[in-house]
Amino acid sequence: MDISQEDFYLMALQAIDGLGPIKANMLINGFSNPSEIFLASKKDLKHKVNGLSEDILNQILNRSSFNAVEAESKFCKKNGIDIVTIYNVNYPVRLNLMQDKPLVLYKKGTIYPKIKRSLAIVGTRKSTEYGHKFLDQLFEELIGVKDLCVISGLALGIDQKAHGLSVKHAIPTIAVMGLSLDKIYPTQNSNLAKSIIASDGGWISETSSQSKTSQGVFPRRNRLIAGLCDAILVVETDVKGGSVITALLANDYGKDVFALPGRTSDAQSRGCNDLIKKNFASLVNTPYDLIESMSWHTLTNKNLPRTLELDFDGTMMQKNVLEVIRRSPKIELEKLISQVQLEHGQLIETLLELELEGVIHTLPGNKYELI
For residue 32, the domain's CATH number is 1.10.150
For 138, the enclosing helix (H) or strand (E) is: helix 129-142
Look at residue 330 and tell me if it is in a domain: yes
The reply to whether 164 and 232 lie within a common domain is: yes
Is the dihedral angle over the CA atoms 252, 253, 258, 263 positive or is it negative?
negative
For residue 231, tell me if it sits in a domain: yes
Q: What are the C-alpha distances in Å from 52 to residues 41, 47, 98, 226, 291?
A: 13, 10, 20, 27, 44
Q: 3-state class of 334 per DSSP?
A: helix
Task: Please determine, for residue 306, whether its predicted confidence score (pLDDT) is greater than 70.
Answer: no
293 with 333, same domain: the answer is: no
pLDDT at residue 312 in the model: 56
Burial class, 121, CB count within 10 angstroms (exposed 0-12 / middle 13-18 / buried 19+):
buried
* Total structural domains within the chain: 3
Q: Which domain holds residue 38?
A: 5-80
Any domain includes 90: no
Q: Do both 13 and 162 map to the same domain?
A: no
Q: CA angle 326-327-331, nearest 5°?
A: 80
Mean pLDDT (whole number) for 189-208: 97
pLDDT tens for each residue of 210-222: 887 666 788 889 9
Same domain, 231 and 132: yes
Q: How far apart are CA 74 and CA 77, in angstroms?
A: 5
- Are residue 124 and residue 228 in the same domain, yes or no? yes
The answer as to whether 306 is a domain residue is no
Strands, DSSP E only, in 216-320? 231-234, 256-259, 282-283
Chosen domain end from 247, 272, 298: 298
Q: In angstroms, rounded to a whole number, what is the distance separating the alpha carbons of residues 172 and 45?
A: 42
- Whether residue 89 lies inside any domain: the answer is no
Distance separating alpha carbons of residues 286 and 273, to the nearest angstrom:
15
Q: At 300, is the pLDDT very low, low, confident or very high (cuts 50, 70, 90)?
A: very low
Same domain? 137 vs 34:
no
Indicate the pLDDT class of residue 298, thresholds 50, 70 and 90: low
Same domain for 220 and 282?
yes
Higher pLDDT, 301 or 316: 316
